[in-house]
């Protein structure tokens, strides 16, 4: 349970701040939430945090945003979950709409590019630090350690999809739990238990969620028509949210293929630029869908030539709404059941092995980042020495000096600006 109970206002300000500082992709965001909520503020226990993380790893969609929603629900029930989940993505949505408008209006600013190029190497350090922190808390025995190692080898060498790795880890954990089937569920369901599952509440939230999906999508059909780009985006991003597992990097190839090749909402170059913006701004990396929606609405002049910004902004909102709505439903419908299973070994064992597998996947992600940031033009070229320096400094600050992620990112951005200024002066 909670170690300290924050007020709703205290939690509100924390989630708002997190929405502006949640850099580093899902690994960095999960690490930040763990550092703040478990270690510093002590609002959530280690066991509750890891149990919530394990559940979110099973779901399609952005796991870090779902984790924030779950933890908000854990502290302040439904409204706590809604506030936490919304504030986790809302600042990112506004920032990406603004940056998308600057992107289409004024092109690339070399100073902003310098900041982005300096932040990316720092993200490498965040990813490896997250793997270390989660692994230290999770890999308690040889079986869990081997699970992490095998999951890394499976995704790195064999290119096995993440969902299959998760499924294999869950099955292995379940088989392991049968050997020592001791269930000590102390989270007893009583009328006074605020986390208990209620069938009436479940179906109420299900009806509300379906209405929040059906009303907007029917409104788009009635106003713009079934074949309009806004309507197409609503259908596509709903499908992407429901059918894609494994986090943002599992979703991106699917989004790329549909957005660039099938629907032709934007070009391949624009998609890559959007990915750079998504990596360098706070919020879930899958918020790149806001950039895709903006470019589609703007370039196709969906509201006429007089309102290009509004057309783009509406596209960003449509893409974001239909991408994240299922995530809220998954948490608000499933969290009571998941919470009640926290001390049942039949459920916790598979989830423990899933988290162990995720450690290996995060290490793979770190290596992926490292190779593309250090050698952007291929391994035959000289590595980017500035990127190597920033990564090494960031690792030292995180591991040895326990720097906060936001301070470390600020320092990295400053180095990028100083380097850019030096280059301009030396010309």
Place of tokens 């706590």: 80
Note the pLDDT of residue 247: 61
Q: What is the pLDDT of residue 396?
A: 94
| Gyration radius of the chain's alpha carbons | 22
**Contact predicate 33/284, CB 8 Å:** no
Q: What is the pLDDT of residue 13?
A: 94
Residue 317: CB atoms within 10 A of its CB come to 18
The span from the CA of 143 to the CA of 7, in Å, is 40
Q: Which residues of 243-269 are buried (b: 16+ CB within 10 A; e: fewer)?
A: ebbbbbbbbbeebbebbbeeeebbeee
Instruction: Report the alpha-carbon distance of residue 82 to residue 332 in Å, rounded.
Output: 9
Instruction: State the pTM of this model.
Output: 0.69
**Domain ranges in the chain?**
8-88, 90-180+190-426
What confidence score (pLDDT) does residue 112 get? 76
Dihedral sign (CA 411, 413, 419, 422): negative
**How high is the mean pLDDT in each 10-residue block of the chain (427 residues)?**
77 92 74 87 87 78 88 92 94 92 77 79 82 82 90 87 78 76 42 62 91 96 92 92 65 77 84 73 85 92 86 95 93 78 63 81 80 83 91 92 79 91 84
Instruction: Spell out the residues 6+ positions from residue 327 whose beta carbon is closer than 8 angstroms to its own.
Output: 59, 61, 62, 65, 66, 69, 85, 241
The pLDDT value given to residue 4: 73
122, 124, 125, 131 alpha-carbon torsion, rounded to 10°: 150
Looking at residue 342, what is its pLDDT?
56
Selection from 134, 171, 44, 129 nearest residue 358 by Cα: 134
- Cα–Cα nearest to 367, from 131, 178, 184: 131
Tell which residue, 119, 79, 84, 112, has the closest CA to residue 98: 112
Sign of CA dihedral 267, 268, 272, 275: positive
Q: Residue 171: what pLDDT?
A: 86
């Amino acid at each position: 349970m909670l170690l300290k109970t924050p007020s709703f206002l205290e939690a509100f300000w924390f989630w708002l701040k997190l929405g502006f500082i949640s850099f580093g992709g899902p690994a960095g965001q999960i690490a930040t939430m763990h550092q703040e909520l478990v270690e510093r503020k002590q609002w959530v226990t280690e066991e509750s945090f890891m149990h919530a993380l394990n559940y979110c790893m099973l779901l399609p969609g952005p796991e870090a945003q779902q984790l924030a929603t779950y933890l908000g629900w854990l502290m302040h029930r439904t409204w706590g979950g809604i506030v936490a989940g919304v504030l986790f993505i809302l600042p990112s949505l506004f920032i990406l709409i603004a940056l998308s408008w600057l992107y289409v209006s004024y092109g690339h600013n070399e100073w902003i590019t310098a900041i982005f190029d300096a932040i990316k190497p720092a993200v490498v350090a965040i990813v490896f630090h997250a793997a270390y922190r989660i692994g230290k808390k999770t890999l308690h025995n040889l079986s869990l350690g081997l699970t992490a190692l095998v999951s890394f080898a499976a995704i790195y060498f064999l290119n096995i999809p993440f969902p299959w790795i998760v499924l294999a880890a869950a099955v292995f954990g379940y088989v392991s739990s049968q050997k020592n089937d001791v269930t000590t569920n102390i989270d007893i369901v009583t009328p006074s238990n605020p986390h208990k599952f209620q069938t009436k509440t479940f179906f109420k939230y299900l009806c509300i969620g379906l209405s929040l999906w059906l009303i907007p999508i029917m409104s788009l059909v009635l106003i713009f028509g079934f074949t309009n780009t806004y309507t197409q985006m609503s259908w596509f991003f709903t499908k992407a949210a429901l059918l894609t597992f494994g986090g943002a990097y599992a979703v991106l190839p699917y989004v790329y293929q549909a957005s660039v090749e099938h629907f032709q909402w934007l070009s391949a170059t624009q998609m890559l630029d959007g990915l750079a913006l998504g990596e360098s701004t706070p919020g879930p990396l899958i918020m790149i869908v806001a950039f895709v929606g903006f470019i589609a609405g703007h370039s196709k002049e969906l509201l006429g030539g007089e309102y290009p910004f509004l057309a783009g902004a509406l596209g960003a909102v449509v893409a974001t709404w239909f991408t994240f709505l299922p995530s809220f439903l998954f948490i608000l419908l499933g969290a009571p059941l998941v919470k009640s299973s926290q001390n049942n070994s039949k459920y916790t064992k598979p989830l423990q092995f899933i988290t162990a597998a995720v450690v290996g996947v995060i290490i793979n992600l770190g290596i992926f980042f490292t190779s593309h940031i250090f050698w952007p033009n291929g391994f035959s070229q000289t590595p980017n020495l500035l990127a190597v320096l920033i990564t090494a400094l960031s690792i030292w600050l995180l591991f040895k000096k326990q720097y906060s992620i936001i301070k470390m990112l600020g320092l990295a951005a400053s180095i990028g600006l100083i380097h850019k200024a030096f280059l301009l002066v030396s010309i």
